Each structure stands twice: as C-alpha cells, then as structure tokens.
A and B are shown apart, each in its own frame.
Chain A
Amino acid sequence: MELKLKVNGVEYVRSVDPGITLLDYLREELTLTGTKKGCDLGECGCCTVHLDGKPILSCLMLAVEALGHEVTTIEGVASGNKYHPLQSSMVEEGAIQCGFCTPAMVMNGIYLLSKNKKPTSLEIKECISGTLCRCTGYTKIERAIARASHD
C-alpha cells in the first residue's frame, strides 16, 4: 500500500506492507535510523518518537496509525545547528555512554520540559522510566534533564 506520512515536518510517500510498524517505516523506508529497535515489543523504550508532540513507542504502532498525524524523531529535534538545551546538557553532563538509549531519552526529556518548567526529581525519573539504560544508571541523564530545565 502507498503510505503518506508527515515526519519531522516533511511529507513522505512510500510503498509498504500494510502491517509495517512506524519504527520500521522510519528506519527502513526513510532511513531515519536515529530511532532504535531494542526489543520490538514495547519493553525497552528505545524506539520512542513523538506523535503529535507526545512520546510513544513506535514499535507498538502501525505506521498507518500515523496518517493525518505528525511524527517527530530525534532527527527532527535540532533545527540546523540549533540544538535543544537538553541535547547540550546531555553532552556536557556525561549522560551519554553507548548512546543507544539516548535518542529515546531526549524525546522523553524534551516532552517533560515542554510542559513542566520545574520538574521535580521524581517527575524526571517518571519521564524516563519507560526507557531502559544499562550504561549510566540514569543518574547523569536525570541531572541533564534537571540542568536543561534551568537553562
């Protein structure tokens, strides 16, 4: 089937299997490989993208569901070399080790920061609680989100 989706503000048309997940559409059809496939079952959170601005798991979503909606991926967060403060704070705080969960952490974090200017430590933990990280113990990621909320 022909599927036209709007991703990062751009409309794409691709010919795909109807059952394709949004994750596979992004990674395979659009080569937007910043969104990662860690488990394909909605249990690790690494596939997080925004649907109409809200973080969801793209591996649990059929690409057709995004018809008429806006998808934003990690590639769509910065515009040119204007980065989101959370991207800078993640880099500076050492919150990135292997980096595989990083795009998802950014997608979760920027959503929280967009609706909550002063998140508490628990709110920060909650916002990233759906994405697993095996490298950092979450500590510096939480610190980066807190720091970006001050910037």
Chain B
Amino acid sequence: MREFSFHRPQKKEELVGILRGLGQQQENFIFYAGGTDVSPALKRQGNPPRHIVFLSELEHIKEIKQIDTGIPRLSIGAMCTLEEIATHPLVMEKLACVGLTARKVASPQIRNKATIGGNVLVDNRCLFYNQSKFNQDVHGGCFKASGNICQLVPSAKMGDETLCRARAVSDLVPVLMVLNTSLHVDGPKGARTIFMSAFYSPDGISRNSLARDEFLTHLEVPLNFKGRISYQKLRIREAVDFPSVGVALGLFDESVSVCITGVDTHPHFWIYNKSDFASLELLAEKAIAVAFKSITIMKQDFFPPSYRKRMIGVYIRRGLGLGV
C-alpha cells in the first residue's frame, strides 16, 4: 500500500507553510498540477514521494488577464489548462500562436487537465528512462532513474555539466521563449521572476533553475511585439506524440528569434538582428549552421538523429518563408 499524504492548500501562505514544514522534516514531496506528467512517473517508481502537494485549489493561479500598467502583457495563471488556453478569447486575439500550439499538445483529454505550468516544467524524456521499472532495469538503469550510468553516453559521470541526455519536449516553451515570456515563481524564500531564456539548464535531470520548494504562479507574455510567431512540430502522427523536433520562430520588424526543442536536453534560443544580414536567406543559413553546431541530437526517438537535424533546417527555412 502506498502511503500518501495529500496537501490541498488554497492560499499561497498555506502552501509556503507546508513547503517549509516538509523542508524542515526533509520529507520527499512532489507538486501535482494537472497530474498528466507526474502520474505515469508516480506509477513507475518503486518508492514514490510520500507527500503530494496539489496546486489545483490555489487561488489566483488560474486567471488569464491583460495587464496594462508598464509594458502591456498577458498574465497566464500556471494552473490554466491547455484547453483553456487554446480557447481563451484573449489568447486567441493577442497570442494566437500560443493557443494554436497548446492545441498541438497530446490529446484533447490530456489538454483538459494538463496545465501550462506543468507544460513548461514537463519532465525530459528518453528511450531508456521512459520505460517501466522492469524495462529500465533490463538495460541496467540510468542516472535519471536513480541509477549510475547513462545508456546513451556511457562515459558520462557525476559532476558533468550534462549528466543526463533526456531531451526537452515541451511544445509551448519554444513559443513562449520567442515571445520573451517571464516566469513568476514563489516559495518559502520569496517570489522571483525569471526570464524563460535563462531558465533551462543543460542537464536532463535538473532541467531548470527552479528550486525544489518553488512553484510557478503565473507567466507573463509581453504584448508589445510586432511580428509573426510560428511553431512547427515534427511528429509521425498528428495527435498524441511529443515533438521529435519543435521549432518556434518569431519574425519581428528588427529581428528573428529562433527556439528549438525536442532535440537536446534543453531548448536552444537565439535572436538574430536582421540588420546584421544582407538577406533573410543569409540569416537562415547562419541560424541553421549555429543550430547544427550547438545541438546534440541523440538516438532516443522515433526519427533518426540525422533526419531530425535536417528537419531543423527545413523548419527554419519554412518558418522564414524561404524555399528548401
């Protein structure tokens, strides 16, 4: 029998109090938002954390509203479901690409429960990790599964900057990054703001700079941009599948932003000033070359690495309106 303790805070102060307490007792816990990412992981673990901290009843964490003081921006509560985001009039009007991208995630049933907070924090995936415990152990386990080897890179060792090669798979992250989104988190040590572009780290286990006892309250997406945002997702089926490659492009007046996911341990993000290039064609060439050089693609997905690499180039060109 799995002994769980459930916590269902309604106020932020309550949650912070719970987290302080758990921290002091050195108790293992997980945050539980929509549960669609956490749930399969909980089932797999031999020793799941004892404490589950539900975020679903927290007030002020499910709102979508426009803030006009300072830079106009859309504030999206971390507990908004993907379905809510895909259909919200404000999102459809001001950030259509975010809504359209939300609609490309998983399946309708999952979108009815999965949250944007959960999506930007979704766990990284790997062929050897996303298995039952039995099948993980058949190959000798891996670092991410509390083992002591990386099945993809056997030479990886503790202390490496990239210990684990599990890849980032959020569809919304690249789109939000290209939009200069900031993440607002809170916790026992107080609230802070982090730009998404500085949030993710190159290890498939630690993944980002969120502390263990911090939680996301909302995202803020600036609305003062002029341009077109697009997201292209590589997957063999037009439903259910995670991105094998995901490329978000922001074509702005002065610059082009590129964010690539699905292929490395973290999303890669670049901004190119149009004025640095004689043509869009040359900008594309540079962006592709940089991407190819920076991104390590492992054999851990339905499509082979060489194909995914090629598709990065195809998507960048297509996103910029260039032929291939």
**Whether chain A touches chain B in the assembled complex (some CB pair under 8 Å):** yes
Binding site for B on A (CB under 8 A): 17-19, 21, 40-43, 45, 48, 51, 54-57, 59-62, 64-65, 108, 126-127, 129-131
How many contacting A-B pairs (Cβ < 8 A)? Answer: 75
Contact residue among A21, A42, A127 (Cβ-Cβ distance under 8 Å from B110): A42
CA distance A20 to B83 in the complex (A): 26
CA distance A41 to B112 in the complex (A): 16
Binding site for A on B (CB under 8 A): 1-6, 32, 35-36, 39-40, 42-43, 48, 52, 54, 56, 83, 106-110, 112-113, 238-240
CA distance A54 to B240 in the complex (A): 18
Contact residue among B48, B54, B109, B240 (Cβ-Cβ distance under 8 Å from A55): B109
Which chain B residues border A21 with CB–CB below 8 Å? 39
Of B5, B36, B39, B106, chain A has the most CB atoms within 10 Å of the CB of B39
Could you tell me if B2 and A19 are in contact, using CB atoms closer than 8 angstroms?
yes
Contact residue among B2, B52, B110, B238 (Cβ-Cβ distance under 8 Å from A130): B110
The 8 A-B pairs of least Cβ separation, nearest first, read A130-B107, A129-B239, A19-B2, A18-B4, A60-B39, A54-B112, A130-B109, A55-B109
Given contacts A57-B109, A60-B113, 5 further A-B contacts (CB under 8 A): A17-B2, A42-B36, A48-B109, A60-B40, A130-B107
Could you tell me if B109 and A65 are in contact, using CB atoms closer than 8 angstroms?
no
Could you tell me if B2 and A18 are in contact, using CB atoms closer than 8 angstroms?
yes
Could you tell me if A64 and B6 are in contact, using CB atoms closer than 8 angstroms?
yes
Which chain A residues border B239 with CB–CB below 8 Å? 126, 129-130
Which chain B residues border A42 with CB–CB below 8 Å? 36, 39-40, 110
Could you tell me if A61 and B35 are in contact, using CB atoms closer than 8 angstroms?
yes
Expressed in whole angstroms, the minimum distance between the Cβ of A60 and any Cβ of chain B is 4
Sampled A-B contacts (18; CB under 8 Å): A21-B39, A42-B39, A42-B40, A51-B112, A55-B109, A56-B112, A56-B113, A57-B113, A60-B110, A62-B35, A62-B39, A65-B35, A65-B54, A126-B239, A129-B107, A129-B108, A130-B106, A130-B107
Expressed in whole angstroms, the minimum distance between the Cβ of B135 and any Cβ of chain A is 13
Could you tell me if B108 and A55 are in contact, using CB atoms closer than 8 angstroms?
yes
Chain A: which residue is nearest B130 at the CB level?
A41
Could you tell me if B3 and A108 are in contact, using CB atoms closer than 8 angstroms?
no
Expressed in whole angstroms, the minimum distance between the Cβ of A43 and any Cβ of chain B is 7
Chain B: which residue is nearest A129 at the CB level?
B239
Expressed in whole angstroms, the minimum distance between the Cβ of A77 and any Cβ of chain B is 16
Chain A: which residue is nearest B6 at the CB level?
A64
Which chain B residues border A64 with CB–CB below 8 Å? 6
Which chain A residues border B42 with CB–CB below 8 Å? 19
Which chain B residues border A65 with CB–CB below 8 Å? 35, 54, 56
Expressed in whole angstroms, the minimum distance between the Cβ of B317 and any Cβ of chain A is 27
Could you tell me if B112 and A55 are in contact, using CB atoms closer than 8 angstroms?
yes
CA distance A42 to B70 in the complex (A): 42
Which chain A residues border B106 with CB–CB below 8 Å? 130
CA distance A73 to B56 in the complex (A): 22
CA distance A108 to B113 in the complex (A): 14
CA distance A127 to B108 in the complex (A): 6
